[in-house]
Amino acid sequence: MNKASFELRGKTHHLQAPASWNEVSFAQLQAWLVVLQSAMPDSDKLKLAVPVFYEMKPALLARFPESLRVQLAAALRFLSEKNQLDRWLAPKLKLNWLTTLYGPADKLSNLTAHEFFNYTELLYWQYKTTLDVGALDALIAVLYREKRVAGVNNDIRVPLTDAGVAKRAKMVAKLPLIVKISVLFNYEGCRNFITAAHKKAFSSKGKPSKKRFDITLSLSGGPLGDLRYTRAVNIYDFLAHLENLIEREENLKKAS
């Protein structure tokens, strides 16, 4: 965290702000995305970054000197950099007094290959290309699920089913749009981590994300097991295996 101490009108103030995307809170992310989506000029948006991330009270902000605002803004350089938010900010969403849904782990580390390639990626690209809010609702309904009653291993969420997604999407549709956009931003940050960590899998042959192509089906029957087992493989293990296959093929081409 970035910490700042200063005197203003005889009083010492101590403030702190995140130094990276992973130090941002879910409330700060929502507030900042509201600013970004507003119609105000970009210069005014940048001015609001300081009160948003330093969480200034209105009374302090009203008498805050512009010169000091500029100094504090320098510590928020990460806002203009690539979305590297790979910590999951909202572990759960309370839809109503009866229903609480639980989200994925940091870096989407408990998603399976089936969940990632055949659900979240398809819905992510559908929303990005069409801005269909229904696709965004479904994406969140895949990521957030009810808590398991028993059999918790590395995932407290109930298993993924089409019926469950459809049921939850109807409830998710009632959430404020800014909450949905914030979850999307968080998914995108985790996705950026995955694609950066497995560049070979997401280049040339590794671009199954935008296409209706079940890569889990094409890799089943090998070391990962039959289709049922292949789809249940952790996304990071699956991508490591995929990259090994790509490297073998590249080496064979070089040797021939």
Q: Quote the pLDDT of residue 208.
A: 44
Read off the pLDDT of residues 179-199 as tens digits, 9 standing for 90 and up.
999 999 999 999 999 999 999
For residue 204, what pLDDT band results from cuts at 50, 70 and 90?
Answer: low
More confident position, 224 or 101:
101
Read off the pLDDT of residues 100-151 as tens digits, 9 standing for 90 and up.
999 999 999 999 999 999 999 999 999 999 999 999 999 999 999 999 987 6
Distance, CA of 170 to CA of 174 (rounded, Å): 7
Question: Does the pLDDT value for residue 212 go beyond 60?
Answer: no
In the chain the beta strands, taken as DSSP E runs, fall at 2-8, 11-17, 92-94, 100-102
Q: Output the average pLDDT for the chain.
A: 89
Full-model pTM: 0.90
DSSP bridge partners of 3? 16
- For 109-128, letters b (16+ CB in 10 Å) and e give bbbbbbbbbbbbbbbbebbe
Q: Quote the pLDDT of residue 207.
A: 45
Q: Quote the pLDDT of residue 26.
A: 98
Determine the average pLDDT of the residues in 151-170: 91
Contact predicate 90/183, CB 8 Å: yes
Residue 27 token pair? 């409330």
Question: Does the pLDDT value for residue 215 go beyond 90?
Answer: no
Cα 48 to Cα 19, 53, 119, 245, distances in angstroms? 16, 9, 36, 48
For residue 88, what pLDDT band results from cuts at 50, 70 and 90?
Answer: very high
Contact predicate 185/87, CB 8 Å: no
Q: How many CA atoms lie within 13 A of 159 on its CB side?
A: 6
**Percent above pLDDT 70 for the chain:** 94
Distance, CA of 185 to CA of 128 (rounded, Å): 11
Q: Quote the pLDDT of residue 210.
A: 47
Distance, CA of 227 to CA of 67 (rounded, Å): 61
What φ, ψ does residue 145 adopt, rounded to 5°? -140, 170
